[in-house]
């Protein structure tokens, strides 16, 4: 997040002179690629670009902050819980549930602020400490805005309780009084502390009258001459009418009581009861809501909205929500006094007091550097049914548009993309399409990460993305010579062409080493071997080896022959199959029948008649050619012997 009201930071690219060279750039999901072009702004041409580099600029650095990542993670759980609650929320409990969700969001922000503050305190680097402190102030502003939105938009506090909520709002975000109180009360003689009356004045300005009375009692104990005045002022504070949460009195009754109390304060002031003590007289004038006197306490108030709440407390305690804007504008004008312009935070708060939700969202989108606050607040307000009438012209509503932007930012992070998936899931119009586009761009650095992405796609029935990811993993496995893994991924992707390619590599490895790698996978192909002819051959050929190892020679011989006669086996592999048949031909027991032997002889002749097919990429050398010739001669001799034995055996069986 950027500092509210500050200019965005300028990012300087090393070795780039934008005055001489033009830059080109392109936005990605969460980054911008920048590079220098060959176009000169000056008349003198250069032989080559002075900066032949591509720079990656991140548009959202907040996702890379360890502390803010906690904010993103915690708020994600609240967001998902809110979507699940939607069906259950109805009637009166609805508002209470939504207020509870809002408070949960704010508690996460405050916890993050506390952690950031500790990091700022512990930071040894001044620049790091400054950065953390800046983040604390921004999160404080975010919580301030959210709290006010909660009061006016979600809780919809009516006149009477509204002022109590605004008092709590100011007290929660004005922490100076607590630190000052600890300082004063920690001294030996609090009433003699140089900041004693500042503390009492701040407490009165914040409406913390019980604490102010306690401080006045200390003054009365230490200074008997002012004891009577302190007691009178303390009684006025104690009897000030205010609509407490459990009170059943009407606004009319409250106004009558407040008017009577106000007249009593005026009488004491006019009688000169507090004349001997300027401090007590000042406090009584604040109780009377004297605008000029309250405005003189600008330094103690700190901001215009504190001024507004103080004036409402002592001048108009039954203010209605619709009247807040005029009081807010008046307080802002008085506080600034024409000397300065409103800051972005002032404009946002003013939009809240005007009940202009869309302006609030717009101003926050401009002032903050990421979409976290706007996305979650907009979603919550949408659940309050406050945004239903605002649709965007490109087929989505405001809630969905902002959630899509926020989720896109999360996908720029190596792990937070998993949170972004759920945000896309809850965007009914464009969420699915956006998820498909973003998930294809996730760099699959590790197989573990790839499995997470794959699981997300499979759970959502994203068939094309599943196939694409499996193909990528299969290619990576092939590059790393992990053929078993490559075959597994190609089967999962249902990619027949790639499965054929990997099967060929496995068969080639068998030819080179005389044994198969990844036997467990090949042995358990099951129905998956039907994906391609080559994969079917691989599975069946491995089955032949298993039968041979179990000494089931007859079944193995039939399978071996069927692989050749059915044309499943690649022609380049026929010599290997015929060589595998050689030990069976030399068995004491006749394994191949006469008919099967004729088939083998036909295959051998078909293989030797045409051009020899090379299994090696470089072809056969002279020495290899001699070996092939020897193999052919041995096969012919073995086939002839087996044929003779088979004919004798079959003839004797017929004769018997």
What's residue 199's pLDDT? 92
What's residue 141's pLDDT? 93
Greatest distance between any 2 Cα atoms in the chain = 146
Whether 233 contacts 274, CB under 8 Å: yes
What's residue 394's pLDDT? 54
Q: How far apart are CA 147 and CA 352, in angstroms?
A: 11
Residues of the chain under the 70 pLDDT cut: 1-23, 25-64, 87-92, 245-247, 388-396, 510, 512-516, 518-524, 526, 528, 610-625, 653-656
Whether 79 contacts 379, CB under 8 Å: yes
What's residue 59's pLDDT? 54
Q: How far apart are CA 215 and CA 149, in angstroms?
A: 33
What's residue 615's pLDDT? 45
Q: What is the DSSP string of 200-214?
A: HHHHHHTT-HHHHHH
Whether 308 contacts 340, CB under 8 Å: no
What's residue 613's pLDDT? 44
| Residue 527 backbone class (left: φ over 0; alpha: ψ -120 to 50; beta: rest) | alpha
Q: How far apart are CA 366 and CA 362, in angstroms?
A: 6
Q: State which H helix or E strand residue 373 sits in.
A: helix 372-383
Output the six-digit token pair for 475. 């290619």
What's residue 374's pLDDT? 94
Q: How far apart are CA 123 and CA 67, in angstroms?
A: 14
Collapse the DSSP code of 459 into the 3-class scheme (helix H, G, I; strand E, B; otherwise coil) and give the result.
helix
* Cβ neighbours around 19 below 10 Å, total: 7
* Cβ neighbours around 592 below 10 Å, total: 26
Of the candidates 598, 608, 559, which has an alpha carbon nearest to the alpha carbon of residue 580? Answer: 559
* Cβ neighbours around 259 below 10 Å, total: 11
SS (H, E, C) 473-526: HHHHHHHCCCHHHHHHHHHHCCCHHHHHHHHHHHHHHHHHHCCCCCHHHHHCCH
What's residue 361's pLDDT? 93
Q: What are phi and psi of 107, to 5 degrees?
A: -65, -35
What's residue 407's pLDDT? 93
Of the candidates 566, 643, 627, 635, which has an alpha carbon nearest to the alpha carbon of residue 541? Answer: 566
* Cβ neighbours around 311 below 10 Å, total: 21
Q: How far apart are CA 76 and CA 379, in angstroms?
A: 12
What's residue 170's pLDDT? 93
What's residue 56's pLDDT? 61
Q: Which residues contact 409 (CB under 8 A, 6 or more apart)?
A: 30, 60, 63, 370, 371, 420
In the sheet that 21-27 helps form, which strands lie side by side, from edge to edge?
A: 21-27, 31-40, 54-58
Q: How far apart are CA 93 and CA 378, in angstroms?
A: 21
CA distance readout (Å), 295 to 154, 202, 233, 291, 302 = 31, 13, 21, 6, 11
What's residue 89's pLDDT? 59
CA distance readout (Å), 22 to 15, 37, 53, 303 = 13, 6, 14, 45
pTM of the predicted model, to two decimals?
Answer: 0.77
What's residue 308's pLDDT? 95
What's residue 280's pLDDT? 93
What's residue 617's pLDDT? 43
What's residue 630's pLDDT? 81
């Amino acid at each position: 997040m950027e500092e509210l009201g500050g200019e965005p930071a300028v990012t300087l690219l090393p070795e780039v002179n934008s005055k001489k060279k033009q830059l080109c750039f392109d936005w990605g999901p969460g980054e911008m690629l920048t590079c220098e072009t060959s176009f000169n702004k000056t008349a003198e041409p250069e032989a080559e670009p002075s900066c032949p580099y591509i720079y990656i600029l991140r548009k959202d650095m907040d996702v890379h902050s360890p502390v803010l990542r906690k904010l993103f993670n915690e708020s994600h759980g609240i967001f998902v819980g809110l979507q699940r609650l939607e069906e259950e929320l109805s009637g009166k409990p609805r508002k209470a549930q939504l207020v509870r969700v809002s408070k949960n969001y704010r508690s996460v922000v405050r916890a993050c602020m506390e952690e950031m503050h500790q990091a700022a305190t512990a930071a040894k680097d001044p620049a790091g400490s400054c950065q953390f402190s800046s983040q604390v102030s921004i999160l404080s502003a975010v919580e301030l805005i959210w709290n006010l939105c909660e009061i006016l938009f979600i809780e919809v506090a009516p006149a009477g309780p509204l002022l109590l909520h605004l008092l709590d709002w100011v007290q929660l975000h004005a922490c100076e009084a607590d630190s000052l109180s600890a300082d004063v009360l920690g001294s030996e003689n609090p009433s003699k502390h140089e900041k004693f009356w500042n503390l009492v004045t701040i407490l009165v300005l914040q409406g913390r009258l019980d604490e102010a009375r306690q401080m006045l009692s200390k003054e009365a104990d230490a200074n008997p001459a002012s004891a009577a005045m302190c007691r009178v002022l303390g009684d006025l504070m104690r009897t000030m009418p205010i609509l407490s949460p459990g009170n059943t009195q009407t606004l009319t009754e409250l106004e009558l009581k407040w008017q009577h109390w106000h007249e009593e304060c005026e009488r004491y002031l006019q009688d000169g009861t507090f004349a001997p003590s300027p401090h007590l007289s000042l406090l009584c004038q604040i109780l009377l809501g004297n605008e000029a006197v309250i405005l003189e306490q600008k330094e103690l108030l700190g901001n215009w909205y504190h001024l507004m709440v103080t004036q409402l407390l002592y001048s108009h305690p039954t203010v209605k929500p619709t009247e807040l804007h005029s009081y807010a504008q008046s307080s802002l004008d008085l506080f600034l006094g024409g000397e300065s312009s409103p800051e972005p935070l002032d404009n946002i708060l003013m939009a809240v007091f005007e009940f202009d939700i869309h302006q609030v969202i717009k101003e926050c989108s401009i002032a903050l550097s990421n979409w976290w606050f706007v996305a979650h607040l907009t979603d919550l307000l949408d659940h309050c049914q406050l945004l239903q009438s605002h649709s965007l012209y490109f087929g989505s509503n405001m809630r969905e548009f902002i959630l899509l932007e926020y989720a896109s930012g999360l996908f720029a992070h190596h792990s937070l993309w998993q949170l972004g998936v759920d945000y896309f899931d809850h965007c009914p119009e464009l969420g699915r399409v956006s998820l498909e586009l973003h998930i294809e761009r996730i760099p699959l650095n590790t197989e573990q990460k790839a499995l997470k992405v794959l699981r997300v796609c499979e759970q959502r029935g994203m068939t094309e993305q599943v196939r694409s990811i499996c193909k990528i993993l299969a290619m990576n496995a092939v590059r790393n010579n992990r053929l078993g893994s490559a075959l597994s991924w190609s089967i999962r992707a249902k990619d027949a062409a790639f499965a054929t390619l990997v099967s060929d590599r496995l068969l080639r490895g068998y030819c080179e080493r005389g044994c198969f790698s990844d036997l467990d996978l090949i042995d358990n192909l099951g129905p998956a071997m039907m994906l391609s002819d080559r994969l079917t051959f691989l599975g069946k050929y491995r089955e032949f080896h298993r039968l041979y190892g179990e000494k089931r020679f007859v079944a193995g011989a039939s399978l071996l022959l069927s692989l050749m006669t059915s044309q499943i086996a690649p022609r380049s592999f026929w010599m290997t199959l015929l060589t595998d048949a050689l030990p069976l031909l030399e068995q004491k027991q006749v394994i191949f029948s006469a008919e099967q032997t004729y088939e083998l002889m036909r295959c051998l002749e078909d293989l030797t008649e045409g051009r020899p097919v090379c299994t090696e990429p470089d072809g056969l050398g002279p020495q290899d050619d001699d070996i092939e010739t020897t193999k052919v001669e041995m096969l012919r001799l073995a086939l002839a012997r087996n044929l003779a034995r088979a004919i004798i055996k079959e003839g004797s069986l017929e004769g018997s």
